[in-house]
Amino acid sequence: MRPFRFGVALYVPGSRKEWVAKCRQAEDLGYDVVGVVDHLGRVAPVPALLLAAEATERIRLNTYVLNASFHNPVLLSRDLAALDEFTGGRVEIGVGAGYVRAEFEAAGIDWGTPGLRFRRLADVVTEIERAFTGRPRPPLLLGGRGDRMLTFAAEHADTIALTGTAPGAAEGRLALADATALAERAGFVKRVLDGRDVELNLMVHFVRITDDRRTALETAHRLVPHLDVEELGELATVLVGSADAVAEQLLRTRENLGASYFTVLEDDLTRLAPVLEKLH
């Protein structure tokens, strides 16, 4: 069974001082990976990770995840190769197909069909693999939820990221898959891997370390109203309870779904810290 890894996806813009401070904080708290999202209005991933490398010593650095449609594959691969070189090989490359239609429109990029967005991602992956021919390629993370994307990831990725989302995320709102749907996706990944050993990542969308679990779940319900409180309490993507209870939940998720690598959002950076102490 794979050991746990924990990452945090950073996205809030700020000064150099603020960025350095939170990267160092993530490392000090025991996170294994600092990730940077790729959304308009947020920090630019490549320079942000280069600064993160300068500010830290051991933590891994991940694009979590690059929107393939935002980038020219050849130029992106050049930048990622330089980033890997300048960070001493601490980079992990995460790529996705993009899911927020409004961002495509704001950037003047054709939203197109799911097939078009998938082909753009496949082109990026092909070029990344070509760019690292003859030298070690950084670990590749591919994320998504559809059959085509997950099958492609099973062929190419070192880490497969399950978003834990449901239809509706493309409109920019938080729509989470229920426990049954997430288990089905994890099972699909296992089948298409056909025995290949790949790390499974899960995005955690809500963390509260508390003894008042019911109240925290009611707060989550206001953010995700399409699932009721009881359904939210069953989700692997919602971590609510005491530090001991959440640690036990993560152990069960690793056993039942095969996920050993968990990524929280920046807002939950400090919230998960008591759990990291128990599982590292």
Element (H, E) at 62: strand 60-63
The whole-number pLDDT of residue 166 equals 86
What's the confidence (pLDDT) of residue 143? 86
Across 17-23, average pLDDT: 98
Rounded CA-CA distance 267/253 in Å is 22
Span 58-70, pLDDT tens digits: 999 999 999 999 9
- The share of the chain scoring above pLDDT 70, in percent, equals 98
What pLDDT sits at residue 168?
62
CB atoms within 10 A of CB 171: 11
Tens of pLDDT, residues 128-160: 999 999 999 999 999 889 999 999 999 999 999
pLDDT at 42 over 80: yes
- Kind and range of the H or E run holding 24: helix 16-29
> What would the mean pLDDT of 182-200 be, rounded to a whole number?
97
Are residues 200 and 128 in contact, defined by beta-carbon separation less than 8 angstroms? no
State pTM to two decimals: 0.96
**Mean pLDDT value of segment 3-11:** 97
State how far the Cα of 91 lies from the Cα of 108, in Å rounded to an integer: 29
Whether the bond between 65 and the residue before it is cis, its omega within 30 degrees of 0, is yes
Predicted local distance difference test score (pLDDT) of residue 280: 84
Maximal CA-CA distance, the chain: 54
203-220 pLDDT tens trace = 999 999 999 999 999 999
First to last CA, the chain: 14
**With 80 as the cut, is the pLDDT of residue 113 above it?**
yes
CA atoms of 239 and 228, how far apart (whole Å): 15
Instruction: Give backbone dihedrals phi and psi of 71, rounded to 5 degrees, phi first.
Output: -135, 145
Each residue of 223-280: pLDDT tens digit?
A: 889 899 999 999 999 999 999 999 999 999 999 999 999 999 999 999 999 999 999 8
Q: Tell me which residue of 83, 16, 29 sits closest to 55, measured CA to CA.
A: 16
Closest CA to 176 of 190, 189, 186, 162: 162
Full set of structural domains in the chain with CATH: 5-205+246-273 (3.20.20.30)
pLDDT digits (tens, 9 = 90+) for 68-80: 999 999 999 999 9
Please report the pLDDT score of residue 188 as a whole number.
Answer: 97
pLDDT at 174 over 90: no
Nearest CA to 70 out of 47, 26, 37, 92 is that of 37
Q: Band the pLDDT of 173: cuts 50, 70, 90.
A: low
Residue 172 has pLDDT above 60, yes or no: no
Round to whole Å and give the CA distance between 194 and 243.
35
Per-residue pLDDT band at 167 (split at 50, 70, 90) = confident
Q: Are 37 and 70 in contact (CB under 8 A)?
A: no
pLDDT class of 182 with cuts at 50, 70, 90: very high
